Structure 1
């Protein structure tokens, strides 16, 4: 028996590490050996699927961050701005006026998207009726 840096080990012929070759090592029962594919998938996060709760949580956090950024933007732009629309004159803080403009733009985009969704839904219903 020889003594290695890690402690005593048996000299196995043809083995530089002093360990028995794989063919002579005792095999673990199949139920206790980990599945290598599963370990690799979990390590790459492929085995963990997203949930609705996780998606809602992520959306909530992103929404809070956006609201905080908007609040900071509005508080930093409190200078009065005079807006004219047709015959009306408005005096608003600049940050609030820009926020209203962004909301109006988002509403226009949402309206255009809703119209397109309705068009596609009608076309799909017509196609379904033709097939039946």
Structure 2
């Protein structure tokens, strides 16, 4: 081993135990922040997918309204859509004439343990506009802007 002018033959280089412990603590804190952020983003994405899926009901529903279909046509099968997806059990109600139809299309969320017994609904207003409504147990941070 070659010695420089400022080193003594007995000097050691490297990290002390305290320095290693501090580095491990900092890495642990950063890892916990990253994991929490990742889980939050996963939940936002799952709720956004549910919102996108429920929006597939709008056009077929509106077509049935325009054609004057009876109440029996207003079901997921009557709209030629699935009653159930990985995260939703859908229900569809016939429109109220000249009034807002609450829960015209409703998704009962399933298979997401952090959203047990929660729903996302599309309400059809009397003027033909659609409004998203989420149950109070879904944190606003997870909801798309249209549902807040």
User: Could you state the TM-score of these two structures normalised by the residue count of structure 1?
Assistant: 0.33
When you count helix as a share of all residues, which structure comes out higher? Answer: 1
User: Could you state the TM-score of these two structures normalised by the residue count of structure 2?
Assistant: 0.31
> Which structure would you say has the larger RCO, counting Cα contacts within 8 Å and 6 or more residues apart?
2
